[in-house]
Structure 1
Amino acid sequence: MSRRAVLLSVLTAVGCSDGSTPPTVELDVAASEVGVAMCERLTDCSVLGLALLSQTACEVGAYQYRNGTLAGLEAWVADGTVSYDGEALRRCLDGLPEAACADLVSNLLVDVPGCDDAIVGAVTTGGACDSSWQCAAGLFCELDAACPGTCAPRGGVAAACAGDDGCQAGLDCVGGACATMLTAGDTCDNQHPCPLGLNCDRATGETTGTCRALVFTAGLGEPCDPGAGQLCTAALVCAALDTTGDAWECRAPSSPSAACATSAPSACPVGTVCLVASGEASGTCTALPGDGAACLQPGSLVLTCQEDLACDTATDTCVRRVDNGEACTSEAQCLHACDGGTCTAPGC
C-alpha cells in the first residue's frame, strides 16, 4: 500500500467502516488530500524528489497546500470564484500516480488530464483574483505589486512570464519567457532545464548535458547513476560508494541507527535521515529530533526535525507547525507569518 493510501485510510476510518476510500473528497480536507497526492507523485518525477521527498510521509505536502497553495479554497467556493466537485477530485487523485510528470509543472490540476473538472475557476478575463486556481480555463492570476490580481490569458511561446502558471499547458517559464518543454534527447543546461520526469545527464565539470528519462531497472548490487537517471528497481536505493559522486550501487535500504550512504531514494526509513559528516562517504540513519529538541544541522537535509515540526533558526530548536488561524509564538511555526500571535494565511 502506498504512503498516500495509508494516510487516506487513517483520515477516513471513521466515515468508512469497511476501510475503503470514500467516493468523494469533502471540501474541508480537499487541500490536504491534494497536497499529499501531489507530493507522492512528485517524489517519483525527479532524482531530487526521490532523494528528498522520500524522507517524508508527505504530511508536509498536506500542510503546505492547506495553509498556502489552496488555503483559500473554501472561501473561493463560498464566494463563487471556484466550483468544486468532490467526486471528480476523488477520481483525479486516484489517477494522479499515472499522470505524466510534465503535466504537473504548472501546479494546476486543470492541466492534468482527468483532473480538469474537480477544482474549476470561474473568474473570467479581467476579473479580480488572488490565485490562478480562481481563473477560468486558459487564464492565470496576473499579480502585480497591488492585490488583488487580474485573470489574464496564459502566454504562448516567448510570452513574458513570472511563473509556470502564466504559460499555456505544455510550456514552462524559463528565464522569464514561456518555452516549449525539452524532451528526452534534448540538450539541457542551467538556463534550459529538463522538465519533471527527465534528468539532465552531464559529465562532471560540464555545463551542458542531455535530457534523459528516469529508468528504474538496476537490480541489487548493480551499478546505478542518479545523474544519468539510471535508478534501481522498487525497494532498492541507489547509494553513493564514495565522496566523488562518480560511483553508485543499488543496495537494500538501511534500518534505523544502521549505516547508510547518500542515496536516491533516501536509504533511511521515514522519520530518520542519513546523517553523513563532511568528507565522509557514509553515515548513520538518525532519528529526526522531536518538539523542543535541537535541530539537526541542515547541510543537504530537507528535514532537520520530525515532519510535523519546523526548525526555529532563532533558537535552533524544533517547534510544532500550526495551521492558519492557530496560536503561534514564532515565525517558524507558520507557513506564511506569525502575526500578533496567530498564524496568518498568505495574501495574494
Structure 2
Amino acid sequence: MSRTLVALACLSFFACPETPGVDGGTGGGNGGTGGGTATGGGSTAAPTVETWCGTQTASSCTAGTTCAYFETQLGCENVTGRNAEFGSFCDAQRNAVNDGRSSFSAAAAQSCLDNLGTCGSLACPAAFTGLVGVDVGCYSSDECDPALFCELGARCPGRCVPRRGEGQRGNNARECEPGLYGRLGTLDGGGAALLCTQQAAVGEPCSGYQSCLEPFVCNPNSNTCVPLLAEGNACGATDGGIAAYQVCALPLWCQPRFDGGVATCAPLATRGEPCGTCQQDLRCVRGTCESLGQSGEGCSVDRDCLWPLYCKASGQVPLGPGTCATRGDAGAACTTDQSCAPGLSCVMRGLNANVCAVVDGGTTLGCRDTTP
C-alpha cells in the first residue's frame, strides 16, 4: 500500500464545492469548479465500482454542457483533467472499495445517474459508504463509518475517530455530530478555535457556510436560513460581497450586478459576457468571459490556462501574473509543484536549486492512497 501527502485544492469538481473565480484584472479570474455540475440521464449498463469513474465523468461532461456549466464537452474534460491531477476523488473511492475500506452501491449509483439531468449537484455520495472502524487507518472521512471521521493531522494515513459533540473542536460539519458544524468560538482556557455548534433551522439566524441544517443555506443578505435561492433573488452580502459557498439553486450562481445593484442568482456567464462568474471552462479577462489560455498567453492563476499548462509568473514571486507555459519534465528547474509535469513535484536540491522529481510521500495538506 503506497501513500502520498498532497496539497489538495479540491479532490474533484464532481464532489466538492469551490467558489468559481471572479475578475482578477488583466489576466484574472477563472471559471472555477462550482458546487458540482449536472449530468445527463442514466446509463444503459448498471455501473460497477470499476466502471463508475468513467461513467460518471462522461455523463457529467455531456450534461454539464447541456446545463450550461461548461461551454463545450472538451472544455469540461479539460477541467476534469486538471482536478484529477490532485488525486481523483472517484478513483480514491474505488481504491477504498477494492481495499475493503468502503462499499459501493450500484443501485444508489444508478439512481444518481438517472437524476443528474436535472442540472443539480453532480456529487453522488450515496454510492459509497465507509466501513473503517475506530482507530483504524484512513485516507479520507468517506472511508470511515458514518459515525466517525478521518483525523489526519501530519499522518498519512490518518485514523478514524468519533465525530465531535457540541462544544468540542471540529473544523466542519463532517467532523461534528449530525446537526452540528464548526464555528469559531472561545476555548474554556482562552484562545479561539472552531467548535461544534448547533446548526440553525429554516427561518432562524445563521452565520455562513454549513450553519444551517440541510438542505437549507445561510442567505448572506438576510443572515437567515432559507431554501436555495431561485433566479433573480438577491444573494449578495450586506457589505456588497458574494458568499464563498453555494446559495443559489443549481445551475444558478450568485452573480454581481453591473448597475450598482445587489448581486442576484443568475446563470453562469458565457463567452463575451461580463464576469461575474463564467462557465467553468472559461476565464475572466479584463471583465469579460474568454477562452482558457494557450501557451504564451497571459494568466493570473493556473486555471486560467488549458491543462496541463500552468501560469508561469513573470516576476520573482511564484504566484502572480504571468503567461501560460509547458510544465517541466523530471530534472527541470521549478518553483512550485504546478510548474512540474503531472506526477512530479518540485523538490529542493541545494539551497537555490529546485528540480522536478518523483516523490514518494510528501509534506503538506492532504492524504491519498496512490495504489493503482
TM-score by length of structure 2 reads 0.56
Contact 2:164/2:196, CA 8 A, preserved across alignment: yes
Find the aligned partners of 2:138 and 2:293 in 1 and give their Cα distance: 40
Cα 1:226–1:321 change in 2 (3 A) is farther
The alpha-carbon deviation at position 31 of structure 1 amounts to: 8.2
List gaps (5 residues or longer) in structure 1.
Answer: 10-19, 45-49, 110-114, 204-208, 219-223, 277-282
Name 1:157's counterpart in structure 2: 166
Give the 3 Å change call, closer, same or farther, for CA 69–180 of structure 1 in structure 2. farther
Q: CA 1:67–1:237 in structure 2 vs 1: closer, same or farther (change >3 Å)?
A: closer
CA distance in 1 between partners of 2:115 and 2:98 (Å): 27
Identify the match of residue 341 of structure 1 among 327, 339, 357. 357
Aligned residues: 285
Alignment partner of 1:297 out of 297, 300, 312: 300
Where is the helix percentage greater, Structure 1 or Structure 2?
Answer: 1
**Which among 86, 104, 120 is matched to residue 84 of structure 1?**
104
Task: Find the residue that maps to 1:158 and give its secondary structure.
Answer: coil
Amino acid at match of 1:341: A
**Superimposed CA distance per residue, residues 227-282 of structure 1 (whole angstroms, 9 cap, x where no aligned partner):** 1799799899955123x4x35689898764x3x3334x53xx55433434xxxxxx
Residue from 23, 34, 40 that aligns with 2:46: 23
Aligned match of 1:126: 135
The correspondence for 2:291, drawn from 274, 280, 287, is 287
Q: Of 221, 226, 242, which aligns to 1:202?
A: 221
2-structure distance, mates of 1:233, 1:108: 15
- Residue identity matched to 1:215: L
Distance 1:236 1:72 in 2: 29
The one-letter amino acid of 2:39's match is A
Give the secondary structure class of the aligned counterpart of 1:72: helix
Structure 2 residue matching 1:27: 3-state secondary structure:
coil
Which residue in the other structure is 2:76 paired with?
57
Equivalent position SS for 1:126 = coil
Q: Percent identity?
A: 21
Segments of structure 2 that go 5 or more residues without pairing to the other structure are 1-35, 185-193, 238-245, 348-355
Contact 1:241/1:247 (<8 A) preserved: no
CA 1:311–1:335 in 2, change beyond 3 Å: closer, same or farther?
farther
> Offset of 1:81 from its aligned partner?
1.9
* C-alpha spacing 1:165/1:34, structure 2 compared with 1 (3 Å): farther
For the 8 Å contact 2:70–2:281, the answer to whether it is kept is no
- Range with greater deviation from structure 2 (129-138 or 63-72): 63-72
Query: What is the TM-score of this pair, normalised by structure 1?
Result: 0.59
Equivalent residue in structure 1 for 2:275, among 262, 267, 274: 262
**Alignment correspondent of 1:311:** 311
Which letter maps to 1:181?
Answer: Q
- The Cα shift of 1:338 comes to 5.1
Change (3 A) 1:344 1:121: same
